[in-house]
Amino acid sequence: MTATAEAPPAAREDQKLWLIFTGLMLGMLVAALDQTIVSTALPTIVGDLGGLNHLSWVVTAYLLASTVSTPLWGKLGDLVGRKTLFQASIVIFLIGSALCGIAQNMPQLIAFRGLQGLGGGGLMVLSQAIIGDVVPPRERGRYTGLFGAVFGVTSVAGPLLGGFFVDNLSWRWVFYINLPIGAVALVVIAIALHTDNIRGKPSIDYWGIVLLAGATTCLVLLSTFGGSTYPWLSAEIFGLGIAAAVLLALFVMVERKAAEPVLPLHLFGQPIFRITSAIGFVVGFAMMGALSFLPLFMQVVNGASATESGLRLLPMMLGLLVSSIGSGQLITRRGRYKIFPILGTAVMAVGMFLLSRMDEYTTTAASSLYMLVFGLGLGLVMQVIVLAVQNSVDYKDLGVATSGATFFRSIGGSFGAAIFGSIFNAQLTENLKDAAEQGLQLPPGVDPKAAASSPAELDKLPPETHQGFIHAYAESLQTVFLIAAAIIVVAFLLSFLLKEIPLRKSTGTDVLDAYRPASRTSVQEVERAMTQLAHRENGWTRYERMIERAGLEISVPCAYGLVQLDNFGPISDTDLAKKLHEPLPSVQKYAAQLVDAGQAAFDPKGRLAVTAPGKDIVERLVEARRELLGEVIADLSPEQHAELTALLGKLARLTTDTPRDHLVDEGERRGA
């Protein structure tokens, strides 16, 4: 079936890609939104369901489940294919959201939040990995930039939406809002994304999964409870730390022998993965730890309402949107990325230092400028390190590398929130002591920690005490922000160690994308690697790219059938169906379309053969394939040029003619 004349192949491909991206971004949106939207609804939830002593677990359960499951989703995506897993994670997330909305008590809500987090972890990782499947690294910047912008939007929109639903509908709508958005994402991905599931029975690293999940759980609980529920030097915190160390040691032992390790240790031998993981951990540590205090600063020090404090974060969101999208466009245009983490961490450090200068006298305009600066820096870093990792690893490790980058950033955020919380509490206690020596006296029965975390409690203080407390509070936060700025400087220094590899112009699903520079000294090694990896290639996507490159108006099934007919013809439709292992009606359907288009014809013996116009199309397809392969190894040694040219011609025809993808039958299933 020939393509319609409504749009050229390149335009149709671009439209399909943006449709896929829309589905992925909607999935990431609901997952990121649920990290922040619950915060403003928590007091109302406790008032309805009770269970004040379990309040923190409503947030912790989601964070824990999403963090623990991140490496698992990434590895399973590499083993069994990402489309089905992404759809499964949406379904799990939506079921968890619906159950959270109908929860009748706090234990139910906590359990359902864990289920929701399990799906959310898959949405966060797989959405970024799927972009790696369908978009070449050179073009990926514009999309990863928008992913980074989603985080900025949700950081502000989450608390605002949570407050709106609580004030105007019900706290249950905090969870129900996910259902229509997630349903749209599910439908869009089902329609637009076409990827092949990996055939064969995967080897699952069950022991690795259990040990990594156990170690991560201990680390998250340690960072969550340390300094708040239990003192840092308590037996409970020491126990969690020892358990985490033992489980991590066992995990390393198991991963050395696992056939398909859930987090391959060889990734840590890759310099770019090591550096980006370290940068992600440090940035997550400083960002999540320090910025969690900004809304409280505005409420306690500036006297803003919960909604107003959310709105005052808009400059930071604006800065993140501008720099994230802008850097993505520049990366796509220039093909270079190293400069952005360097500039981004430097600007972040400056922005955090400016935030450390805020006090009770700082104007709204000044604080908005400080947050704008910080947001501009943050947008230059967040998604660029994911792009750098994806560009540096073999395609078979795309999922685990993406999940690794997300995993270390999440762990960093957990530790940052806990440690900065402890620093703030210790500093506030010290500052209040100093203030007491200068005459400040808190009324009997007033808990400084309660007043520091609740503007309502703070308003109960007498005016003279109120002002002194605010000053001590502001000074405490200045210390937190100043330490965070120093920590970001560590990320700035690490950014200089990030090695830059030119961004590839083709996706990891192409046969040559897993080819690494180590093989470049031998044409035979290049051929061996390319031929071996060709068997994992997505045939439908390959033909779409060939058609687009050749500038042809022809459907994938017809292009595939024409190439095979050129290979086997003249041949009867019955024999061709047997050769291709396709149903005879499918072969006859597309054969008739080729005949109608003048690209094939029946000879006097009733055999089908390619005509001169059809032969021209075949040669254009083969040449397009050769060009696509050539782009990947265009930077190889000039002295090997003649040999490589012959090799490309050989591989172009080989990987075009191979009738193993069953594209005609796939065209039937897709209604092509």
Encode pLDDT of 406-434 as tens digits.
788 878 877 777 788 778 877 887 877 77
What tokens were used for 481?
């922000």
What's the full length of the chain, in residues? 672
Which pTM does this prediction carry?
A: 0.65
- Cα–Cα distance for residue pair 58/66, rounded to 1 Å: 13
pLDDT band at 667 (very low <50, low <70, confident <90, very high): very low
**512 CA to centre of own chain:** 24
Residues 6 or more apart whose CB falls under 8 angstroms from that of 549 comprise 624, 627, 628
Output the pLDDT for position 521.
41
Q: Is 230 helix (H, G, I), strand (E, B) or coil?
A: strand
State in Å, rounded, how far the first CA of the chain is from the last one. 7
Q: At residue 146, does pLDDT exceed 50?
A: yes
Q: How far is CA 201 from CA 70, 86, 389, in A?
A: 22, 19, 27
With tokens 């706290």, the residue in question is 171
pLDDT, mean of residues 81-92? 84
Residues 6 or more apart whose CB falls under 8 angstroms from that of 542 comprise 509, 510, 625, 655
212 Rama sector, left if φ>0, alpha if ψ -120 to 50, beta otherwise: alpha
Mean pLDDT of the residues in the chain: 75
Say if residues 378 and 348 touch (Cβ distance below 8 Å): yes
Output the pLDDT for position 650.
54
Say if residues 360 and 470 touch (Cβ distance below 8 Å): yes
Q: E strand or H helix at 39, and its extent? A: none
**304 CA to centre of own chain:** 33
Say if residues 280 and 412 touch (Cβ distance below 8 Å): yes
Output the pLDDT for position 139.
66
What tokens were used for 38?
């619950």
- Cα–Cα distance for residue pair 428/477, rounded to 1 Å: 8
pLDDT, mean of residues 364-368? 88
Q: Over pLDDT 70: what percentage of the chain? A: 72
pLDDT, mean of residues 271-278? 86
Say if residues 472 and 301 touch (Cβ distance below 8 Å): no
- Cα–Cα distance for residue pair 557/542, rounded to 1 Å: 12
- Cα–Cα distance for residue pair 374/286, rounded to 1 Å: 12
Share of the chain residues as helix, strand and coil, in percent rounded to the nearest 5: 75, 0, 25
pLDDT, mean of residues 96-112? 86
- Cα–Cα distance for residue pair 5/10, rounded to 1 Å: 12
Output the pLDDT for position 493.
93
What tokens were used for 532?
């071996």
Say if residues 164 and 46 touch (Cβ distance below 8 Å): no
Q: Tell me how far apart the 2 most distant CA atoms of the chain are, in Å.
A: 110
Q: Could you report the per-residue pLDDT of 611-650, keeping only the tens digit for each?
A: 988 888 888 888 887 776 666 555 444 444 455 455 555 5
Q: How far is CA 188 from CA 136, 177, 625, in A?
A: 21, 18, 29
What tokens were used for 128?
């970024």
Q: E strand or H helix at 602, and its extent? A: strand 600-602
- Beta-strand ranges (E) seen in 119-231 are none
- Cα–Cα distance for residue pair 343/324, rounded to 1 Å: 12
What tokens were used for 317?
């969101």
What tokens were used for 432?
């209040």
- Cα–Cα distance for residue pair 197/83, rounded to 1 Å: 8
Helix ranges restricted to H, 261-397: 271-291, 294-300, 306-311, 314-334, 339-355, 364-379, 384-392
- The burial class, CB within 10 Å (0-12 / 13-18 / 19+), for 194 is middle
Output the pLDDT for position 306.
63
Say if residues 185 and 356 touch (Cβ distance below 8 Å): no
Output the pLDDT for position 343.
92
What's the CA dihedral at 89, 130, 400, 662 to 10 degrees? 100
Residue 223 C-beta-side C-alpha neighbours within 13 Å? 24
Residues 6 or more apart whose CB falls under 8 angstroms from that of 407 comprise 67, 70, 71, 216, 263
- Cα–Cα distance for residue pair 407/453, rounded to 1 Å: 29
Q: E strand or H helix at 249, and its extent? A: helix 235-257
Output the pLDDT for position 351.
92
Q: Could you report the per-residue pLDDT of 279-336, keeping only the tens digit for each?
A: 888 888 887 766 677 777 777 777 776 667 767 878 888 888 888 888 877 887 777 7
What tokens were used for 424?
């703030």
pLDDT, mean of residues 452-459? 60
What tokens were used for 192?
């637009």
pLDDT band at 51 (very low <50, low <70, confident <90, very high): low
Sign of CA dihedral 581, 586, 592, 595: negative
What tokens were used for 439?
């005459």
- Cα–Cα distance for residue pair 588/409, rounded to 1 Å: 54
- Cα–Cα distance for residue pair 254/416, rounded to 1 Å: 29
Q: How far is CA 80 from CA 125, 223, 266, in A?
A: 15, 33, 21
Q: Could you report the per-residue pLDDT of 525-540, keeping only the tens digit for each?
A: 454 554 444 444 456 6
